[in-house]
C-alpha cells in the first residue's frame, strides 16, 4: 500500500485540490478564518486580512485585533451568534459591519461551523469563510429608500388628490340640491360666478398635483425634458405675474414686481414659468399674507429671478431639506401640496446649468434666488 506522505500522485492531487480551493475562494472574494478555541488564537487567509485592513504581522494570531475592527454596534451580536453556534452545534451565519480603517465602513457576511474533539466531545475549532457584501447592502438600502419614498409619495398624492376631488363632488351635490329647491334663483350671476371659481380652483389644484407627479417621474428616470428657446426673462415673468395676480388677490396678498432691465437669453420658457409659479405659490402659503416681491435682473453672463416674502421664514436646519422630495418649508401637515415644488424647481434649474439658493430667518420671511446662465451650453 503506497505511503501517502511520499506518493507523488497523491501529493499532486492534494496540491491541485488546494489550488482549486484557493482559486474558488479568490474568485468569490471569500476569505477564510480558523479559530483555535483552546487558546483563542486565529488564523486567516490573506484575502480576509486585506478585507479587515490588517497585516499578518499585526494579527499574529491575536483574535482581539480583528474584534477591534468590528463595528461597536455589531460586536456583541457577532460574539453571541458564534457562542450560540458552538453551543448548539449549528451553522453560524451573520451579516455585520467592519471598520478596516478610520472613516471606512464595510459590510461582510461570515459563515462557519464548530468542530469538536471526538474523544472529549468538546469544541476545538471554529472555522469558516467571510466575504464582502458592501455593494449588495448599498443596493438594498437604495431599494429600501426608494420603496419608502414611493409609499410616502402615494400616501401624500392620495391625500392631496382626494381633497379637491371631494370638494368638486360636494359642490356638484350642492348645486343639484339648489336646482331642485331654488330654481331659477340658483342661476343668479353672483352664485354662478362663485361656483365656477370654486370649480376652477379645485381643477387648477388637481392639474398642479398631476403635473408634479409626472415631473417627479421624469426626474426619477432621468428624462426631464428641457427645450430651450430665445425669449426675454422679464417678459416671461411679467406674463406669469399677470396670471398669478388673480390667485394672489383672492388670497389677499399684494405682488410687487421690479424689473431693472431686459434680460434676453435661451432657456425653456415653460419650465421657468413653472419654477416662478412654484416660488410664488410657496410665498403665498408661507408668506403670512405679506407682500410678495419679485425682481428680475441680469448681466452679460446670467439672468436672475428673485422671489421674496416677509412671512414665517425657514430655520437654517430645514433650508437644504426643502429642496428634497416630499419636503415642505414647515412641518405643518395642514399645508397643501406634495412637497415636490422646490424639488422639481431645483431639478429644472440644474438642467439649465443654474442654481437656486435660499436666504431665510424665522419670522423674517424667505428669499429664493434663481441664477441662470444666459446661453447655457
Look up cell 471598520; give the residue. Answer: 99
The percentage of the chain sitting over the pLDDT mark of 90, rounded to a whole number, equals 32
- CA-wise closest residue to 98 among 123, 65, 60: 65
Question: pLDDT digit string (tens) for 332-371?
Answer: 444 444 456 787 788 889 889 999 999 988 888 899 999 9
- CA-wise closest residue to 353 among 311, 303, 319, 295: 303
In sequence order, the 6+-apart residues with CB closer than 8 A to the CB of 320 are: none
Which is higher by pLDDT, 135 or 337? Answer: 135
Sign of the CA dihedral running 136, 139, 141, 147: negative
- CA-wise closest residue to 170 among 207, 192, 195: 195
Which is higher by pLDDT, 279 or 121? Answer: 279
Average pLDDT of 318-329?
Answer: 67
Of 50-59, 121-130, 202-211, the range with the lowest mean pLDDT is 202-211
> 325, 150 in Cβ contact below 8 A?
no
Of 12-21, 62-71, 186-195, 273-282, the range with the lowest mean pLDDT is 12-21
pLDDT at position 243 over 90: no
The percentage of the chain sitting over the pLDDT mark of 70, rounded to a whole number, equals 72
Average pLDDT of 303-317?
Answer: 87
In DSSP terms, which residues pair with 94 in a beta bridge?
110
Q: How far is CA 137 from CA 66, 153, 279, in A?
A: 21, 24, 38
- CA-wise closest residue to 98 among 66, 127, 128: 66
For 376, the grid coordinates are 447655457
140-220: CATH topology: Helix Hairpins (1.10.287)
Q: Can you give the pLDDT at residue 120?
A: 64
Between CA 352 and CA 305 the distance in angstroms is 14
Between CA 3 and CA 16 the distance in angstroms is 19
Q: Can you give the pLDDT at residue 2?
A: 47
Which is higher by pLDDT, 273 or 206? Answer: 273
Q: Where are the domains positioned within the chain?
A: 8-132, 140-220, 229-373
- CA-wise closest residue to 370 among 323, 304, 319: 304
Between CA 270 and CA 240 the distance in angstroms is 10
Q: Can you give the pLDDT at residue 287?
A: 83
Look up cell 432691465; give the residue. Answer: 261
Instruction: Supply the Cα-derived Rg of the chain in whole angstroms.
Output: 33
What does pTM read for this prediction?
0.49
229-373: CATH topology: Heat Shock Protein 90 (3.30.565)
CATH superfamily of 8-132: PAS domain (3.30.450.20)
Q: At what angle do helices 341-351 and 189-220 cross, to 10 degrees?
A: 60
pLDDT at position 24 over 50: no
Average pLDDT of 18-38?
Answer: 68
Q: Can you give the pLDDT at residue 146?
A: 74
| Alpha helix stretches (DSSP H) within the chain | 8-27, 46-52, 56-59, 63-67, 72-88, 134-182, 189-220, 233-250, 269-286, 341-351
* Mean predicted lDDT score pLDDT of the chain: 79
pLDDT at position 91 over 50: yes
Q: Can you give the pLDDT at residue 332?
A: 47
Burial of 178 (0-12, 13-18, 19+ CB in 10 A): middle
In sequence order, the 6+-apart residues with CB closer than 8 A to the CB of 256 are: 291, 292, 293, 294
pLDDT at position 203 over 80: no
Question: pLDDT digit string (tens) for 33-81?
Answer: 999 998 999 999 888 999 999 999 999 999 999 999 999 999 999 999 9
Question: pLDDT digit string (tens) for 153-195?
Answer: 666 566 556 656 666 666 676 677 767 776 666 667 776 777 7
Between CA 289 and CA 42 the distance in angstroms is 71
Amino acid at each position: 500500500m503506497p505511503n501517502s506522505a511520499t506518493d507523488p500522485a497523491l501529493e499532486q492531487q492534494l496540491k491541485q485540490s488546494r489550488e482549486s480551493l484557493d482559486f474558488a475562494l479568490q474568485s468569490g472574494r471569500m476569505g477564510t478564518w480558523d479559530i483555535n478555541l483552546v487558546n483563542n488564537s486565529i488564523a486567516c487567509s490573506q484575502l480576509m486580512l486585506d478585507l479587515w485592513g490588517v497585516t499578518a504581522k499585526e494579527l499574529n494570531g491575536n483574535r482581539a485585533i480583528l474584534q477591534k475592527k468590528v463595528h461597536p454596534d455589531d460586536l456583541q451580536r457577532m460574539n453571541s451568534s458564534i457562542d450560540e453556534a458552538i453551543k448548539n452545534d449549528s451553522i453560524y451565519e451573520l451579516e455585520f459591519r467592519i471598520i478596516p480603517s478610520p472613516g471606512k465602513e464595510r459590510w461582510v457576511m461570515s459563515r462557519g461551523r464548530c468542530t469538536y474533539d471526538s474523544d472529549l466531545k468538546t469544541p476545538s475549532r471554529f472555522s469558516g469563510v467571510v466575504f464582502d457584501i458592501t455593494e449588495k447592502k448599498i443596493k438594498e438600502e437604495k431599494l429600501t429608500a426608494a420603496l419608502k419614498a414611493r409609499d410616502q409619495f402615494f400616501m401624500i398624492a392620495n391625500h392631496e388628490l382626494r381633497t379637491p376631488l371631494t370638494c368638486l363632488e360636494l359642490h356638484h351635490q350642492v348645486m343639484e340640491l339648489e336646482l331642485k329647491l331654488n330654481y331659477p334663483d340658483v342661476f343668479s350671476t353672483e352664485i354662478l360666478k362663485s361656483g365656477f371659481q370654486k370649480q376652477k380652483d379645485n381643477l387648477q389644484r388637481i392639474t398642479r398635483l398631476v403635473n408634479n407627479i409626472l415631473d417627479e417621474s421624469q426626474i426619477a428616470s432621468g428624462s426631464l425634458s428641457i427645450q430651450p428657446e430665445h425669449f426675454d426673462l422679464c417678459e416671461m415673468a411679467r406674463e406669469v405675474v399677470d396670471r398669478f395676480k388673480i390667485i394672489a388677490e383672492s388670497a389677499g396678498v399684494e405682488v410687487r414686481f421690479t424689473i431693472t432691465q431686459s434680460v434676453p437669453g435661451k432657456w425653456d420658457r415653460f419650465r421657468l414659468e413653472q419654477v416662478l409659479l412654484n416660488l410664488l405659490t410657496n410665498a403665498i402659503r408661507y408668506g403670512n399674507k405679506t407682500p410678495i416681491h419679485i425682481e428680475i435682473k441680469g448681466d452679460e453672463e446670467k439672468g436672475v429671478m428673485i422671489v421674496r416674502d416677509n412671512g414665517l421664514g425657514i430655520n437654517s436646519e430645514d433650508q437644504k431639506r426643502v429642496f428634497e422630495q416630499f419636503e415642505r418649508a414647515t412641518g405643518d401637515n395642514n399645508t397643501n401640496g406634495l412637497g415636490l415644488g422646490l424639488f422639481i424647481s431645483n431639478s429644472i434649474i440644474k438642467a439649465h446649468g443654474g442654481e437656486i439658493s435660499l436666504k431665510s430667518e424665522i419670522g423674517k420671511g424667505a428669499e429664493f434666488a434663481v441664477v441662470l446662465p444666459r446661453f447655457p451650453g
